[in-house]
A = this chain, B = another copy of it.
Amino acid sequence: MGFLLDNANIIALIASLLGLAFAGYQLRWILAQDAGNDRMRQIASAIQRGAQAFMRREYRAVFILVIVVTAVLVLLSFVPNSRMSLWTAVAFVTGAFASGLAGYIGMYTAVRANVRTTAAAARSLNGGLRVAFASGTVMGTIVVSLALLGISILFILFTRLLPPLEAVSALAGFGFGGTSIAIFARVGGGIYTKAADVGADLVGKTEAGIPEDDPRNPATIADNVGDNVGDVAGMGSDLFESYASSIIAAITLAALGSGLTPDKTLAGQVFPMLIAAVGLIIGMLSTFLVSAKEDATQERLLGALRRGVYAASGLVAAAIVVLGLMFDLGWGVIAATLSGLVGGVLIGYCTEYFTADSYRPTQALSISAQGGAGIVVIRGMALGMFSTVAPVLVVVAVTLVATAASGLYGVAVAAVGMLATLGITLATDAYGPVADNAGGIAEMAHLDKSVRQRTDAMDSLGNTTAATGKGFAIGSAAMTALALNAAFITALQGATGNGLSILMIDVLDARFITGLFLGAVLPYLFSALAMLAVGRTAQEIVQEVRRQFREIRGIMDGTAEPDYERCVGISTDSAIRQMILPGVIAVLTPVLLALLVIVGRGNIIGQFVGTTTLIGMLIGALVSAFMLAVMMANAGGAWDNAKKHIEAGNHGGKGSDAHKAAVVGDTVGDPFKDTAGPSLNILLKLLAIVALVIAPLLAGSPLV
């Protein structure tokens, strides 16, 4: 035990290095696969160039922000009496770098795996699946490994250099760095991918009457680039941040002694890191379970995929029990952690129930498409709103169980438990866009129809498993944000050791109430900006595509090639420009509020703005963003699948009036589910982690 306690960081470090090696091995395997004929390589190269150009531009813009924030953090550490450590700035830079790197490697792998998936799918379904799944595995493993690597190195460093509470306080900077990159990556990538998608569809499918991914559509490369920068890189940074933040929240609450007896402070900090380390190893091993025989049917493949995920969950659950008992943390902590794991599965199931066309809600939605676009949009909105109830009940149950079992620390380990199987769930999630891209390349390279059919089958397989991944993402976001808020509030007021904060506030204090209102409106403002950006960028692309059809003669009969680069350029420019405002709002709001609190101490301003305003804002944003995020994600997913359900030949099939109505629903759902919705997950954690980072400024002493 003592050995494990003392060397947990080293063990986590070794596990993360193993993970990196495994990811490198998988990547090498992917690169060794056949990359297809010249035409395929040419298309893939265009997608690679577009994606790389976008990410360069994005990171350049974000780099400025990182510099500014780092400078501010450094300055704050030099303010007289400041208890904020200079190491917070170091952690921030490290977190930002690691998050960016996770996204970049994910993208790098995906844009190389896509064409190789096409080439492999030209031979067999199973071959294609293996390449695409390997790409997802690289992504899942990289995200988890980099997060664990960063946290373990910094933790080893900080615990040697700083007093315990200052060490965890500085560690929060790592989460802050990761979250800052994530919000820009999600918003920027989300705007790019959905604007290109909507823009390409609007002119291509609706006006010119050419199918999706047709090489004659000038926006088709931009659409494929979007899958890689939004769905792959954006998701990578996003989940990197979720994972890191949940561990940091647990470590912080353990250090503060919330929910643990004093002798368990160290064990409480080590426990989440070891769960993550074990989860990482189990995840890697489970990917081997996924491989199926060469002649497997699709049902078998889905079964194999599911078996992998369930096996990983079972093993992780066993590991949680064993680790909890080894460290003598008691059944309370174990129950709290397991409640998170179970809660994540339940939310994933709810997501699947409301968005998959094998269940009633989405089936009813596709039937309603016969009533026209208006009805299908109304019904989809209602479905999205209705679908918030079950996840809320799950979050409520997990919160009550976790806090009853082991106080606020319980909430944090519940989030860690939810994300413990991230490696493999992310792998099953992230291979979807690769399969999608592979199909696009097959179409553009005029390969045999059977290839596209195989990639479509892979894509739909991914959609089913992705629902579970989304459930984990959204549930863990709520639990992590709650844990971070708890850490912030506990840090403000001091640790009590009895598992409950003693920050009593007057619930009718106007500052608290107005804080709630301000927090609740932030997700609306944020989503509005993101959706407006998608609409605006899509409009620009529509105009450019129309112009090319008009001015470049011969596009439609295939004698002239459209100017793909220009559409890529427009999407890039517009997405980068428009991701700034929502991102900056998210980062700056808590900082400005905190400054107002400090400025207002002891004078008239303090009567209107106080620490309670900040607390209200955090809680208001958490609750409001969670509802909106679930609503948008599920409505968007249901519209998407209702459209696919009709395309599969139901209610009139492709080209029917019902299909046209469903396409409108899907268009509305695109920015819901892939831009605004997932960004909200990050928003609520970003607000919470910024508050945690600046907590030492608000309290008299660091974390006390």
> Chain A: residues with CB nearer than 8 A to chain B?
198, 202, 206, 368, 371-375, 377-379, 381-386, 388-389, 392, 395-396, 399-400, 403-404, 408, 411, 482, 485-486, 489-490, 500-514, 516-518, 520-521, 524-525, 527-529, 531-532, 534-535, 538-539, 542, 607-608, 615, 619-620, 623-624, 626-627, 631, 663-664, 666-668, 671
A671 in contact with B378 (CB, 8 Å)? yes
When A379-B532, A506-B502 are in contact, do A386 and B664 touch as well, CB less than 8 Å?
no
Q: How far is the CB of A476 from the nearest CB of chain B, in Å?
A: 15
Interface contact A520-B489, CB-CB below 8 Å: no
| Known contacts A381-B531, A514-B400; A504 and B506 CB within 8 A of each other | yes
Name the residue on B nearest A503 (C-beta). Answer: B507
Contact status A527-B382, CB under 8 Å: yes
Within the complex, the shortest CB–CB distance from A489 to chain B, in Å, comes to 6
The answer on a CB contact under 8 Å between A381 and B668 is yes
Q: Which residues of B contact A504 (CB under 8 A)?
A: 504-507
Decide if A532 touches B382 in the complex (CB within 8 Å).
Answer: yes
Known: A404-B608, A525-B386. A538 touches B371 (CB 8 A): yes
Indicate if the CB atoms of A528 and B374 lie closer than 8 Å: no
Q: Are B510 and A667 in contact (CB under 8 A)?
A: no
B378 engages A531 (CB within 8 Å): yes
Measured between beta carbons, the chain B residues less than 8 angstroms from A486 are 508
Let me know if A396 and B623 touch, CB within 8 A. no
Q: Is the CB of A524 within 8 A of B368?
A: no
Asked whether B375 lies within 8 Å of A373 as measured between CB atoms, the reply is no
Name the B residues within 8 Å of A607 (CB-CB): 404
For A392, list chain B residues within 8 Å (CB). 517-518, 520-521
Other-chain residue from B371, B514, B528 in contact with A542 (beta carbon distance below 8 A): B371
Decide: B206 and A619 in contact? CB cutoff 8 A.
no
- Residues A538 and B503 in contact in the complex (CB < 8 Å), given A513-B482, A623-B624: no
Q: What residues of B have a CB within 8 angstroms of the CB of A502 in the complex?
A: 506
- Cβ B627 vs Cβ A525 within 8 A: no
27 residue pairs of the A-B complex, CB under 8 angstroms, read A198-B375, A206-B372, A368-B535, A368-B539, A371-B539, A374-B667, A374-B668, A377-B668, A378-B667, A381-B668, A382-B527, A382-B528, A385-B525, A388-B524, A395-B517, A400-B510, A400-B514, A400-B608, A482-B513, A485-B508, A503-B506, A513-B619, A516-B619, A516-B623, A517-B623, A620-B623, A623-B623
Q: Which residues of B contact A525 (CB under 8 A)?
A: 385-386, 388-389
Q: For the complex, what is the distance from the CA of A388 to the CA of B399, rounded to whole Å?
A: 29
Q: In the complex, what distance in Å separates the CA atom of A531 from the CA atom of B534?
A: 26
Given contacts A202-B372, A383-B528, A620-B623, contact A508 B500 (CB under 8 A): yes
* A382, B531: Cβ atoms closer than 8 Å: yes
CB distance from A661 to the nearest CB of B (A): 9
Complex: A482 Cα to B371 Cα, angstroms: 40
C-alpha spacing A668/B507, complex, angstroms: 37
Given contacts A379-B535, A521-B388, contact A501 B510 (CB under 8 A): no
What separation, in Å, do the CA atoms of A382 and B676 have in the docked complex? 10
Q: A241 to B104: give the CA distance in the assembly, Å.
A: 57
Distance between Cα atoms of A157 and B355 in the complex (Å): 57
Please name all residues of chain B whose beta carbon is closer than 8 Å to the beta carbon of A382 when the two chains form the complex: 527-529, 531-532, 535
A517, A527, A671, most chain B CB atoms within 10 A: A517
Q: Please give, as numbers and ranges, the residues of chain B lying within 8 Å of A520 by CB-CB distance.
A: 392, 623-624, 626-627
Interfacial chain B residues near A408, Cβ < 8 Å: 508
Interchain CA distance A490-B509 in the complex, whole Å: 12
Complex: chain B residue closest to A534, CB-CB: B378
The listed residue with most B CB atoms (<10 A of its CB), out of A513, A514, A607, A664, is A513
Give every chain B residue within 8 A of A377 (Cβ-Cβ): 377, 664, 667-668
- Which 5 pairs show the lowest CB-CB distances between chains A and B? A374-B667, A386-B528, A385-B528, A403-B510, A382-B531
How many Å from the CB of A677 to the closest CB on chain B?
Answer: 12
Residues of B within 8 A of A375 (CB): 198, 202, 535, 538-539, 667
Q: A372 to B666, alpha carbons, bound, how many Å?
A: 13
Q: Give the residues in chain B near A384, CB-CB below 8 Å.
A: 528
Interface centre among A378, A404, A485, A627 (most CB of B within 10 A): A378
Bound Cα distance A529, B388 (Å): 13
Query: Please, how many angstroms separate the alpha-carbon atoms of A512 and B663 in the complex?
Result: 42
* Residue numbers in B under 8 Å from A524 (CB-CB): 385-386, 388-389, 627, 631
Q: How far is the CB of A373 from chain B (nearest CB, A)?
A: 5
Instruction: Give the distance to chain B from A98, nearest Cβ to Cβ, in Å.
Output: 30
Compute how far the CA of A524 lies from the CA of B383 in the bound complex, rounded to whole angstroms.
10
Q: How long is the Cα–Cα vector from A631 to B627 in the complex, in angstroms?
A: 14
Contacts of A389 in B (CB 8 A): 521, 524-525
List of B residues within 8 angstroms of A527 by Cβ: 382, 385
**Which residue of B has the minimal Cβ distance to A258?**
B508
Q: Complex: how many Å from CA A381 to CA B524? A: 10
A18 to B626 Cα, complex, angstroms? 50
> Can you name the residue of chain B whose Cβ is closest to the Cβ of A384?
B528
Nearest CB in chain B to that of A194: its residue: B378
Question: Nearest-CB distance from A381 to chain B (Å)?
Answer: 6
Q: Which residues of B contact A517 (CB under 8 A)?
A: 392, 395-396, 399, 623, 626
CA distance A386 to B408 in the complex (A): 34
Contact indicator B535/A378 (Cβ below 8 Å): yes
CA distance A626 to B373 in the complex (A): 28
Smallest CB separation, A301 vs chain B (Å):
33
Smallest CB gap from A392: residue in B:
B521
Chain B residues with Cβ below 8 Å from A411 are 510
Say whether, besides A514-B396, A517-B395, A528-B385, A664 and B374 are in contact (CB < 8 Å).
yes
